[in-house]
Amino acid sequence: MITGPLLLVVFVIALGILLFSIIKLKANPFLALFGTAVITGFMVRMPIAKIGSTITAGFGGTLGGIGIIIGLGIILGRLLAEANATDQIAETMLSKVGEKRSPLALAMSGYLISIPVFQDAAFVILMPLARKLSKVTGISLLTMITALGVGTIVTHSLVIPTPGPVAVAGNMGVDFGIFLLYAAIVALPAVLVGGVLYANTLKNRPATINPDAEAAFEAAHAAASGTRPSPALSFGLLLFPILLILVGSIMSFILPKDSSAVGFFQFIGDKNVAVFLGVILAGYKLKPFIKAKFNDVVIEAAGSAGMIFLITGAGGGFGKVITESGIGKYMVDSMSVWSISPIILAFILSQILRTGQGSTTVALITTSAILGPLGAQLGASPVLVGLAACAGGIGLSMPNDSGFWVVSRFGGISVQDTLRTWTAGGTIAGLTALGAILILNMFSGILPGL
């Protein structure tokens, strides 16, 4: 196989092939990742018989660690959405902070709801409320869209059990509870700065609204109305698996290793067990509020999970080729010579992939698959490197991103206004998250788990 600087040349070419395949050829990300992994194997002169087995090993190794939690997380999010628990959470937040501070309520609602629910679904669910608040308060719809869009994309990119952060935590080989804790901490200032402070700068700027979108949303909002679970139940079911994971990790740190209770907390705090228990509890408690049968909800969720599994596995396969070829090790050695922080490298690499091909999930999976196997060689906390990769997937959303068009079309605003709200707000939030990560890095020798 090739060695030396040519490895970096191959890496750059490989990224170019991946972006070209998705952007120009409109290839499915799974096929693009798999094909790029094969071509990279040939470019580094990996033995031809080893290319297929290397990709397969990376595919299986990645899904073996995170496949269950991805599937269960999607099911949990679907249950909460079907029962209108997400609407209940948003309106409860609004009642607590008041209509005058409705952008804060929308941003924090997005922050919470996008933990288990996909960003685009969360945005669509809450957009009628944002439109209503804009009319009642007189605050520009652009402010409301920015608050909601940033709130939903930040936790979608940073907090487990959304597929992207799950893949990052798995690929980086870190404790899921520790990763979740610091992700929630980093996400908060990102939402407040990008989704509230920046959003408020747009509160007097008028938006050109598509009347067809407005009528469609009013009809959708009317159709979605109905009985809802109580605020306590809605928040409780959302936070239940998260708290189990956190308690399991914290108790493992606090209790003596030989304590009989450690095994119990490790069991309930296991990422798969915690989310499974959350799904079972949600299925039981939300049954009166869901019109569809439980099995139908699970089947529908499984359908949307299928492509996520393929993309995640293919990203792992590509990462395995990068590792086995020596590209990863050479990148680390080069960083030492060039004095590049691995945290900054993770952010930039993820940002390039996010901007180039559009998908946050693909950017996170690919970046962590490349850097994850390097582990301790990175010279920084794998938790913080992983979080930096997540932060890089937040901003600079362009029209090649499906989320860009979800915001534009469902918000009923122009492309220019979408760039002004969604793209600019998300970029500010991503940079704020990076700043928070760099601050945490200053105390990495003191803070637990870092």
The average confidence (pLDDT) of the chain is 84
CA gap 157, 394 in Å, rounded? 6
At residue 213, the pLDDT reads 55
For residue 114, give every residue at least 6 positions away whose Cβ sits within 8 Å of its Cβ, in sequence order, or none.
Answer: 122, 151, 152, 153, 154, 155, 156, 159, 162
At residue 114, the pLDDT reads 86
At residue 211, the pLDDT reads 57
How distant, in Å, are the alpha carbons of 172, 369, 390 from that of 354?
Answer: 19, 15, 10
How many helices, marked H, and strands, marked E, lie in the chain?
A: 22, 0
Residue 88 tokens read as 């209940």
CA gap 404, 426 in Å, rounded? 11
pLDDT at position 375 over 70? no
At residue 23, the pLDDT reads 75
Identify the CA nearest to 358 among candidates 387, 406, 420, 400: 400
Half-sphere exposure of 160 (CA within 13 A, CB side): 35
Q: Is the pTM of this model over 0.85?
A: no
Q: How distant is the alpha carbon of residue 263 from its chain centre?
A: 30
At residue 225, the pLDDT reads 52
Residue 14 tokens read as 């490989």
For tokens 């060695």, name the residue.
3
pLDDT, mean of residues 228-236: 89
CA gap 22, 6 in Å, rounded? 25
Identify the CA nearest to 366 among candidates 167, 169, 162, 180: 167
Reported as a pLDDT band with limits 50, 70 and 90, residue 403 is confident
At residue 155, the pLDDT reads 93
Task: Return the C-alpha torsion angle 313, 314, 315, 319, nearest 10.
Answer: 100
Amino acid present at 114: S
pLDDT at position 223 over 70? no
- What are 133-176's pLDDT values in tens digits? 888 888 888 999 999 999 999 999 999 888 889 989 988 989 88
At residue 215, the pLDDT reads 55
At residue 64, the pLDDT reads 79
DSSP secondary structure letter of residue 117: S
pLDDT at position 66 over 50? yes
Identify the CA nearest to 172 among candidates 320, 347, 383: 383
- What are 298-351's pLDDT values in tens digits? 888 877 778 778 887 888 888 888 888 888 777 767 765 667 788 998 999 898
pLDDT at position 224 over 80? no
Neighbours of 8 (CB within 10 A): 13
For residue 222, give every residue at least 6 positions away whose Cβ sits within 8 Å of its Cβ, in sequence order, or none.
Answer: none
Contact criterion met (CB below 8 Å) for 346 and 389: yes
Amino acid present at 93: M
pLDDT at position 110 over 70? yes
Contact criterion met (CB below 8 Å) for 279 and 79: yes
Counting Cβ atoms within 10 Å, is residue 177 exposed (0-12), middle (13-18) or buried (19+)?
buried
Contact criterion met (CB below 8 Å) for 345 and 26: no
At residue 325, the pLDDT reads 85
Neighbours of 204 (CB within 10 A): 11
CA gap 23, 300 in Å, rounded? 28
CA gap 250, 449 in Å, rounded? 10
CA gap 386, 175 in Å, rounded? 12
